Amino acid sequence: MRRSLRALQLKSCWNASCKTFTGSRQYRSTSAPVTVLSALETIAKCNPALNAFASHIAPTEISSAESSDGPLKDWPIAVKANIATALPTATSCASRALGTYTSPFQSSVVDSLEGAGAVVVGKTNMDEFGMGSKNTFSIYGAAINPHTSSSDAKRKDMAESDRRTPGGSSGGSAVAVAAGMCRAALGSDTGGSVRLPAAWCGVVGFKPTFGRISRHGLVAYGSSLDTVGIIARNVADVQSVFGVAAVPDPLDMTCMSSVLRARIKALTDSRPWITQVQGRSETESAPLAGIRVGIPEEYWVNELSAPALESWKAGASRLAALGCEVVSVSLPHTPSALPAYYTLAWAEASSNLARYDGIRYGRRSSIRPDTRDLQNASQKYANTRTEGFGAEVQRRILLGTYAMSSAASEHYFTPSQKIRRLIQEEFDKIFALPNALSMTNTLASQTTRPPGVDVLLFPTATGAAPRLGDQEDSKVANYVNDVMTVPASLAGIPAISIPVGHTDGMPLGLQLAAQYGDDELLLLVARHL
């Protein structure tokens, strides 16, 4: 499991990456906290160009609403268009099928945030139902990355297709945070949908452990993978939002109960080598001494670009400089994660999206079904669903339907479930902390440090944001970017993308991942990176 770290031996890389590294630190610390008023001003100014919001409130609407007192008092928050809000604006999932649908109830997570003083300023652009990695499959049109590459900045005229994608599917949320149109944003992360756009837009994107934040009110895509995620400019803001949002919720049976939360807390607190880090002041020379960071070698894939590799090395060096022990680890099932992920996510998508039939709500086709054959149900559904869903959603529904059919299920769905279990077990073997779900009793406090790592470090994406107009060689190429993000989703473990480095002026992101339930440690390490 522990290997020598071959990626970090070249001194030249070390120097080069330190430079980009410093650059990213400066970028992140520039602006003062965004207020509701400044957010609305920025929205008015920038949203027409960036297309981050599907809908937003007007400055006149905030004076009437008194926000609650709490840790998020008067924080302007943007909410992805697939999370139900009480705003009289659509929870459309950027789909024609829902269009102007407004939810009669509000999601639990937005309730929590508003209860802590946050003000929802608008609903953000996204890939339809969360399906996409570039925020291009949307009825609102593509969202635009606020960053411009250094070479493009010199150009006089730039076509729309030359602009950079913010990444998806929570593209609008990442753009809103990066451009100062809100202080923090909620997104959803099924296979990387918060982490990828955060990386490409140069902000922090956090996918908590599955079950830490209630999914009630989050429109389902792949229910066993869906997680509400948080995007902000810095880890401290993410922590503030997470502290308010990560509460038990009886409305979501898969949301962790207070009993499970207490068990996880007891388990994570039973590590003296971690508690001593938590007690240390940030100004110490080696604040993270005692923490072991794993570099999973399988993430060094062929597609990984040179700048992404550089930033990876820089991140590892930075953690080493902070006192961490950096070791190489192996997660041999990683290459199987992508096909398994897509099989499971699409199978669940085909199931979760079966309800959009235009009968009770949403858009219904104007083509009347043949009334002579009322018993034949499929006719009535086909028109509405063909018109309502975009190409990518249709592709995923059809493939997911096939993967679950009685003829194909044992070749696709069942093996994918097995791979998912293997990947989970593999993570359990790598981490020093046991998985709270596979434990019956909490451990007694340990005196000696067990083998295994506390966090993993690897890139969020294989490179920086591509241009909107870039054509991939095939449809499959669109999915390859998810190779870095889906393993954590399959395992249900927490992962966070932190901006580390640039290439040609475009931000790059690094991911940290930790054991199931170890979100607080993950955020602590991320805060230093």
445 CB-near residues (< 8 Å, 6+ apart)? 270, 272
Measured over the CA atoms of residue 14, residue 202, residue 95 and residue 46, the dihedral's sign is negative
Of 42 and 103, nearer to another protein (C-beta) is 103
Q: How far is the CB of 105 from another protein (least distance, A)?
A: 6
The verdict on whether 4 is a catalytic residue reads no
DSSP secondary structure letter of residue 7 = G
The verdict on whether 80 is a catalytic residue reads yes
The verdict on whether 193 is a catalytic residue reads yes
491 binds another protein (CB under 8 A): no
Of 297 and 357, nearer to another protein (C-beta) is 357
380 binds another protein (CB under 8 A): yes
Q: How far is the CB of 422 from another protein (least distance, A)?
A: 17
128 binds another protein (CB under 8 A): no
Q: How far is the CB of 469 from another protein (least distance, A)?
A: 32
Contact assessment for residue 172 and residue 203, using Cβ atoms and an 8 Å cutoff: no
Among 406, 440, 441, 471, binds another protein (CB under 8 A): 406
376 binds another protein (CB under 8 A): no
404 binds another protein (CB under 8 A): yes
Among 65, 236, 306, 359, binds another protein (CB under 8 A): 359
45 binds another protein (CB under 8 A): no
Contact assessment for residue 358 and residue 386, using Cβ atoms and an 8 Å cutoff: no
DSSP codes of every residue in 79-137: EETTB--SSSS---TT-TTTTT---SS--HHHHHHHHTT-EEEEEE--SGGG--SSS-S
Three-state secondary-structure class, residue 463: coil
Measured over the CA atoms of residue 385, residue 391, residue 392 and residue 395, the dihedral's sign is positive
- Point out the catalytic residue in the list 92, 95, 112, 193: 193
Q: How far is the CB of 257 from another protein (least distance, A)?
A: 10
User: Other CB atoms closer than 10 Å to residue 475's CB: what's the count?
Assistant: 10
Among 219, 246, 309, 508, binds another protein (CB under 8 A): 219
Q: How far is the CB of 232 from another protein (least distance, A)?
A: 23
Single-letter amino acid, residue 8: L
**Tokens in use for 413?**
């769905």
Which residue shows structure tokens 């079950």? 211
Q: What track of x and - describes contact with another protein for positions 87 through 106 (by CB under 8 A)?
A: ----x-x----x--x-xxx-
218 binds another protein (CB under 8 A): yes
Which residue shows structure tokens 């095939």? 474
Query: Torsions phi, psi of 324, nearest 5?
Result: -70, 150
Choose the binding region for another protein from 43-51, 201-209, 400-408, 457-465 (rule: CB under 8 A): 400-408
Query: Cis link prior to 350 (omega < 30° from 0)?
Result: no
**Tokens in use for 6?**
């071959």
- Applying CB under 8 A, the residues found at the interface with another protein are 82-84, 91, 93, 98, 101, 103-105, 107, 215-220, 222-224, 250-254, 347-348, 350-351, 353-355, 357, 359-361, 371, 374, 377-378, 380-381, 401, 404-407, 409, 413
Active site residues: 80, 169, 193
